[in-house]
Amino acid sequence: MSEKKTSKRTPKPTQPAQSEIQAGDQSIAVGGSVTDSAIIHGQTIVLANRFWRDLKPSIAPETLREATAAYLAYLTDRHYYLSLKGMGVADRVPLRLKLLDLYVPLKARMELPEGDTWKRDLSLAGRDITDHEQEVLHFGEPVPLLDVLRKHSGMIVLGDPGAGKTTFVKYLALRLAHGQGQKIGLDDYLPILLPLAAFANALQSRDIPLDDFIAEYFEGIGADLPVSDMLSEALKAGRTLILLDGLDEVRDLNMRNTVVERVMDFYAFHRRQGNKFVLTSRVVGYRAVRPSAEDLVECTIVDFEDDEIEEFITHWTTALEKQAQGNTAIANADAETERRELSDAINHNPGVRQLASTPLLLTILALMKRQGVSLPERRVQLYDQYVNTLLSTWNRARSLSGRAPGRDIDEIQTVRILAPLALWMHEISPGVGLVGREDMRRKLEELFLERGDSSPHQAARQFMQDVREHAALLLERGPGEYGFIHLTFEEYLAAVALALLGQGNSQPIIDTLSRHVGEQAWREVTLLTIGYLGIRQQLPKIAGEVVVALVEGKPGPSGEAVILAGDAVLDTWPGGVPPASKDRVISALNETMQDGSIRPELRRHAGLLLGRLGWRPGDLDR
């Protein structure tokens, strides 16, 4: 290690001695009890010295080093902790969890050359891929995002809300700001992170190049230090990583096109020096402004697999216990206990596992578990708990923004709007769940009118504004396109709407569900409707009437209705349907299993259901 330069302060007699920070070319040494902030700010001095050591800037190196240290300290202060805003129970818990401690590397599918086929089994946030997304994206096998960044000058990271796009660029910025570029394969790059919406706002008033805007955006953070000159010199040296977040947040299409043009001009010029670029956007709305440039690649974040979920759980429980108890043996033991419990809750419950597929939803699940919220075994109860958590977050945000709490933002009343809205969305866009702004506004007006609202037009407008500003359960997935944060919630709320439609009468429910037997997009809605009736509403008689009607009416392709009824009984038993209804379904399953005219896979499924429902052949003991 090189010789260290030491900076000491003489303490005043009335104050305790300050900690000593010694900085060298490669590291720092800290004496005494200091905060993370003090250590990190000491690191920025080391990094600033190292960054400019072999470069020949056009302004005084010492001034540049001071500006760089101030800039890196700002990035660290701004993004050091994971933001848990808007995650329900987290709002009531003072959690300060380090982003670098929690981060799990993301994977994405790359665009393949023309002619490669689309894999039909892919999904984003639980939903099917739309036709327009198929035109935009042709995916191969998932690859780590960091590998893509290392191999290319620029990358466009696409993903649905909650996929981890913004956390990814913050992670990159923090790694570099902490001098840990070797961990991401980009040693000694200067990160420049800013929201594209801010650039769009600047373009509203004047035509400003992105270079000048970047300098202006960070001008205020370094007091009298030349932060803008520092950024310009780093760009000239080809040592920057440009992180441009949230193209989709530029709402106006014309402005979005302008922003893309300016970014591509910037990219084409500065990539020649060796700078690298990352731009993030939601998938919906991207096609309209899709850019093309040399060595600029597109990739779409994929859902978490089992190993990534386990890694997140380990990071999460370790970070929580360290915050609460420090880095002690007891903290480590408690973290291991928490890890096992959370892992079991996710892996032993298909409903919970389905919701653990994205970083956002997995984080909310972990928060719910941490706060003692039981994660129910039955899917319908789990989704009910989840929806209530997200709605309470949304409604609190709406009331804090100036709207007094009252009937119009009560959770029950919000569901009375969201449930029929979800059912309508599922009917017009099954399996995809995306609707246009004007179509949604008209439907909301219709729903508020049915509810007796005195001004349905204003109520619908306010509701859509709330969706944009306080996105929680329902959100603007892309410019002018609305959908639920995960298809599961659309399916669950559509089921709630069907159950409420019955009002204790099973026939309207039977009529609706019978029309969709055999349609994959309606299978989960059917199961959740019967479960909601029998478990959540505690109307087992009505739920039983629905399953019996399915096995007796046999709508849809041969054998499908009986299998669907069997799955529903298994899903709700015990208690969700009367024993007599269960027996009737078992009898129909037995007939289906032995019917040679029914597809073999359905007959096999019928046999498996019979076993799980406890049926045994009458002659088994002979």
Q: So where are the chain's domains?
A: 5-77, 88-301, 307-375, 385-490, 503-612
In this structure, are residues 143 and 155 in contact, taking their beta carbons and an 8 Å threshold?
A: no
State yes or no: pLDDT of 192 exceeds 50.
Answer: yes
In the chain, pLDDT over 70 holds for what percent of residues? 76
pLDDT of residue 27: 37
The 3-state DSSP class for residue 67 equals helix
Dump pLDDT digits (tens) for 388-403.
777 776 555 544 444 4
Using the predicted structure, report yes or no on whether residue 44 has a pLDDT greater than 80. no
| 622 against 541, higher pLDDT | 541
On the question of a common fold for 88-301 and 385-490, the answer reads: no
Phi, psi of 537 (to 5 degrees): -85, -10
Rounded average pLDDT over 224-235: 77
Any residues with CB less than 8 A from the CB of 207 and at least 6 apart, and which? none
Percent share of the chain, pLDDT over 90: 30
Average pLDDT of the segment spanning 510-527: 91
User: Tell me, what's the pLDDT at 50?
Assistant: 65
Q: Rounded to whole angstroms, how far apart are CA atoms 51 and 181?
A: 12
- Output the pLDDT for position 77: 85
Cis peptide before 574 (omega within 30 of 0): yes
Overall fold of domain 88-301: Rossmann fold (3.40.50)
Spatial separation of the C-alpha atoms in residues 615 and 590, rounded to whole Å? 9
Integer Cα distance of 89 and 411 in angstroms: 15
3-state DSSP assignment of residue 416: helix
DSSP state of 81: B
pLDDT at 552: 94
Mean pLDDT, the chain, as a whole number? 79
Confidence (pLDDT) at 534: 93
Give the C-alpha separation, 15 to 393, whole Å. 44
Better-predicted residue by pLDDT, 562 or 406: 562
Q: Give the pLDDT of residue 359.
A: 86
pLDDT of residue 478: 64
Contact 192, 263 (CB under 8 A): no
pLDDT band at 263 (very low <50, low <70, confident <90, very high): very high
Q: Report the C-alpha gap between 274 and 175 in whole angstroms.
A: 19
Cα–Cα dist 56/118, whole Å: 49
pLDDT of amino acid 521: 84
User: Measured between alpha carbons, how far is 66 from 48 in angstroms, rounded to an integer?
Assistant: 7
Give residue for tokens 């509403």. Answer: 537
Token pair for residue 178?
Answer: 């902490």
pLDDT digits (tens, 9 = 90+) for 132-162: 545 444 456 789 999 999 999 999 998 877 7
| 385-490 maps to CATH 1.10.10 | yes
pLDDT-derived band at 408 (thresholds 50, 70, 90) equals very low
Question: For the segment 77-125, what is each residue's pLDDT rounded down to a tens digit?
Answer: 888 888 776 555 444 445 678 888 889 999 988 853 232 222 334 445 4
Q: Does 621 have pLDDT greater than 90?
A: no
The single-letter DSSP state of residue 409 is G
